[in-house]
Amino acid sequence: MSNILPQSKTLAEWIKLLDNTRLPVYREQRERALQALQSPSHSLRDIAQVISQAPTIAFIILREANRGHSSIAEPVQTLENALSRLGLQRCGTLLKSLIDDQEIDIPFALRQIWLIGQHLNIQATGLFSTRMARLWQEIHWGSLLFLSPAWPLLTRYPELFTEWERRVLGENEPAAAVERELIGMPLTALCLGLAEHWKLPQWIIEGYRLLNDNPQQLVSALYIARQTDQPLLQQQKLDQLPMLSNWLNRPANTLVFTCGLVMAAHNSWGSEQCLRWQRLISLYLKQELSEVQQNIHQLAVKHAHLQTQRDLWHPAQALLWPWETQRLRPLQIKSSAPAPNSDNLSQWRLHCAELLRSPSPFSNTLQLTQRISLALQACGMQRICLIMLDKQAEHAQVSLLQGIQADALPQSFTLTANPIIEHLLKQPTHLVLSDANTTRIKPHLPIELTRIFHNTEWIIASVSNSHRVVMLIAADQSATQLHPLAIQSFKKTLECIERALLIFSAPKH
């Protein structure tokens, strides 16, 4: 991973690169924003409310309003002010210049961080807006765009989030050390530099300054927040430290508290990392911890009900799990399945040679699929499912099972159209399902298959005959990681199967 991301860039070089990054924009969101801008009955507040459902567009407009503006003028802090400064006509022109993106083209990591940012917004607004009603705009726009400095980075390097998520949240490695290894500096320093360069709302800048320049105050507050069962003692300690008490009550800190909460909840509600932010919010609001937790959980569920992208992870899903469960468990070294030995590979070559014989030695489809199964077994696969497709590739018919009980899945099922299925049916291809991608890909695959291959590394492949995909193959090596040689042999077998289907379907003379 550290070889994928450039590490030698200075802050200035990072800002120059990320400043020129085109952020993805959903077509539907852009069209809704344009309709709101062009509606004569919409006030600036109405328009801002519509655009707040599209944080990327809100960010682009806010950034444009502050870009290149006189240093004497005060940077705009809210979208309403940005719309007023630019004018609706210029905003419309800006939106029309944006390029539409389909969901499948937007990196998964970027869509996931968007969801985390929206969860942050829901939590911050729900927890603090009533208490600080006059500051609701600062809370709303600051929380909605707090993670925006990371958006261009994840647009260019989406693999960074997966690595950071695994190592920092899952492995509990120090964030600063991981980030220095991956991008050459702490992420808070990069986000602070970008926030200042783009003149983002002041609360966002203050939040990153706290995290980057003055974390000692935060550590001290977290220490006092631990005594949740002794509120009088907490107040006594704060009275003894008036500077810390004054700092704790700064409204802009609520963004940092909420960001820490939602990032920790992304992994576990019951972890110490999540609990410390809940305690700090409890101390800030002077509310019982249990009351704060109940409110937080209700807000998470409220936000989850609004989600339509089922491949993204929302922490509300984990509220049904045992309290101490962590979604990102420390990495465990899994034993790889053994490589096919020389006898296996000799048998594999014989089976492949039989598949490639012309004219075809098989008198019916059953004989052909049995030989395909033998070839796949010889290259190391232990559980195999061969599925034939109808001409419209809408219905799947199970043709052969090896190592799988016959009643484990229905004889036929329907394929639901989605980007992953369309990718498999467009042309012959294969996908290896592993820990790194199963969260993203699994929801798009037939549940009949994912129920069987739910706890293993496995392969699903599509096979064509005369330019039409006619077969799906799912296989694994049981409860172990796939061996690289088995994967390589599997891919070679796919080539033999395609050729065998062509020979088998050729007119007999």
Residues 489-505: pLDDT tens digits?
999 999 999 999 999 99
pLDDT for residue 70: 55
Residues 415-453: pLDDT tens digits?
988 889 999 999 999 999 987 788 788 888 998 898 888
pLDDT for residue 425: 93
CA distances from residue 486 to 231, 370, 441 in whole angstroms, order as listed: 61, 19, 22
pLDDT value at 38 more than 60: yes
Structural tokens at position 334: 């899994």
Structural tokens at position 103: 């969901």
Enumerate the CATH 3.30.450.40 domain ranges in the chain, comma separated: 342-505
Task: State the SS3 of 67-105.
Answer: CCCCCCCCCCCCHHHHHHHHCHHHHHHHHHCCCEECHHH
CA distances from residue 446 to 394, 395, 413 in whole angstroms, order as listed: 12, 11, 9
Predicted confidence band of residue 3 (pLDDT cuts 50, 70, 90) = very low
CA 324 to chain CA centroid, Å, is 22
Residue range 258-280: average pLDDT?
94
Question: Under a CB-based contact definition with an 8 Å cutoff, are residues 354 and 370 in contact?
Answer: no
Structural tokens at position 98: 């944006």
State residue 392 phi and psi, 5-degree precision.
-90, 0
Structural tokens at position 496: 């033999």
Lowest mean pLDDT among 5-19, 154-168, 385-399: 5-19
pLDDT for residue 163: 85
Predicted confidence band of residue 381 (pLDDT cuts 50, 70, 90) = very high
Question: In sequence order, what are the beta bridge partners of 397?
Answer: 388, 412
Structural tokens at position 345: 């590979």
pLDDT for residue 323: 84
pLDDT value at 380 more than 70: yes
Q: Rounded to an integer, what distance in angstroms lies between the CA atom of residue 459 and that of residue 374? A: 17
Angle at the Cα of 370 from the Cα atoms of 365 and 376, rounded to 5 degrees = 125
pLDDT for residue 4: 43
pLDDT for residue 8: 56
How many other β-carbons are positioned within 10 Å of the β-carbon of residue 380?
Answer: 25
pLDDT for residue 1: 33
Angle at the Cα of 84 from the Cα atoms of 78 and 89, rounded to 5 degrees = 125
pLDDT value at 2 more than 50: no
Structural tokens at position 249: 């009550």
Quote the pTM value.
0.66
pLDDT for residue 333: 47
Instruction: Map residue 474 onto helix, strand or coil.
Output: strand
pLDDT for residue 470: 95
Lowest mean pLDDT among 14-18, 180-184, 187-191, 311-315: 180-184
* Domain 342-505: CATH superfamily, name plus number: GAF domain (3.30.450.40)
Tracing tokens 């509606």 back to the chain, one arrives at 39
Q: Rounded to an integer, what distance in angstroms lies between the CA atom of residue 478 and that of residue 284? A: 51
Angle between helix 215-225 and 202-213 (nearest 10):
80
pLDDT for residue 454: 77
Instruction: Map residue 412 onto helix, strand or coil.
Output: strand
Predicted confidence band of residue 406 (pLDDT cuts 50, 70, 90) = confident
Give 358's contacts (C-beta < 8 A, 6+ positions apart).
Answer: 503
Predicted confidence band of residue 330 (pLDDT cuts 50, 70, 90) = low
Lowest mean pLDDT among 60-74, 146-160, 268-282, 373-387: 60-74
Return the percentage of the chain with pLDDT > 90, whole number.
60
Residue range 375-399: average pLDDT?
93
Return the percentage of the chain with pLDDT > 70, whole number.
95
CB hemisphere CA count around 480 (13 angstroms): 13
pLDDT value at 477 more than 70: yes
pLDDT value at 167 more than 70: yes
Structural tokens at position 391: 């001409």
By C-alpha distance, which of 147, 172, 173, 151 is closest to 160? 151
Q: What is the mean pLDDT of the chain?
A: 89
Residues 174-205: pLDDT tens digits?
898 889 888 889 999 999 999 999 999 999 99
